[in-house]
Amino acid sequence: MSTDADKRTILIAEDEPDIRDLVSFRLERAGYDVILAEDGQEALELAIEHRPDLAILDVMMPRMDGLELTRRIRAEQTIAAMPIILLTASVQDQAVTEGFRAGADDYMRKPFSPQELLSRVEAVLGRK
């Protein structure tokens, strides 16, 4: 578990309030700082402003979907290296391949396991 000194910040972009709250609740409990966005556009702005250590992005979002957002983040110099985990509904088979092609580091299917998400976050952050 991280200490306050190296508290890492995670951006969560998700339009469904339930998922957003469930993910952020677990991450905060695990000692991360969390920034929330309700759509892709807002997420991009927050990402540029706060430069979080990691972003968890929903694929289906209003105003800009997670795939497009991933591409934008990769194209934005200051945050291009930010690790990205995509959240996809289980029916979107193609989204996973497309997500990796867009530059995502990992993905998580919905319905999801919070425990597994935490380990993935740690793994992706550790890889850095």
Partner 1 sequence: MRDVLAAFGLFILGYFALLNAIYLAFTLYAFKALTRRLRQQEYSPEAETFASPFSPAVSVILPAYNEEAVIVASVRSLLRLRYPFLEIVVVADGSTDATVERMREAFDLVEVRRALRDSIATQPVLATYVSRRHPEIVVIEKENGGKADSVNAGINAAGHEFLCVTDADAVLEPDALLHVTRPIIDDPDLVVATGGIVRIINGCRVEDGEVVEVGLPRSRLAVFQVIEYFRAFLVGRVNWSRSRSLLIISGAFGMFRRDVVEAVGGWWNDTVGEDAELVVRIHRYLRGRDEDYLVEFVPDPVCWTEAPESFRSLGSQRRRWQRGLGETIWRHKRMIGQPRYGAVGLLALPYFLVFELLGPIIELIGYLLIPVAVLAGALNPTYLLVFFLLALVLGVFLSVASLALEEFSFRRHRRSREIARMMLYTVLESFGYRQLTSYWRVREMIAIAMGRKATWQALPRRGLGADAAAEASE
Partner 2 sequence: MTSTIGVAGAVFAAATVLAVAVIVLRRATLVVLERSRLERETRLRPLALALSAGDEDAERETATLARRDSRSLAATLARFAGSFSGGERQQIAALLERRGDIDREIAELRSWRTWRRGRAAYLLGDAGSAEAVVPLLRVLADDSDRDVRSAAARSLGRLGEETAAAPLALALVEKHVPRAVASQALLAIGPAALPGLVDLKDHPEPDVRELVARLLGVLGGPAEAEYLHALVEDPSAPVRAAAARALGRIGDARASAALTARLEDRIPAVRAAAATALGALGDRSAVPPLLRIAREDDFEPARQAARAAASLDADSVRGAGAEDGPHLVEASDLLAAGIEAWERI
Question: Does residue 110 bind partner 2 (CB under 8 A)?
Answer: yes
CA 26 – CA 28 distance, rounded (Å): 5
Question: Does residue 80 bind partner 1 (CB under 8 A)?
Answer: no
Binding at 25: pick from partner 1, partner 2, none (beta carbon under 5-8 Å per type)? partner 2
Length of the chain: 128
Angle (CA) 110 116 118, round 5°: 110
Binding at 112: pick from partner 1, partner 2, none (beta carbon under 5-8 Å per type)? partner 2
Question: Does residue 42 bind partner 1 (CB under 8 A)?
Answer: no
Question: Does residue 1 bind partner 2 (CB under 8 A)?
Answer: no
Which among 105, 70, 107, 109 has a CA at the least distance from the CA of 89? 109
Q: Which residues pair with 84 in a beta bridge?
A: 55
Q: What is the contact surface with partner 2 in residues (CB under 8 A)?
A: 18-19, 21-22, 25-26, 29, 94, 109-115
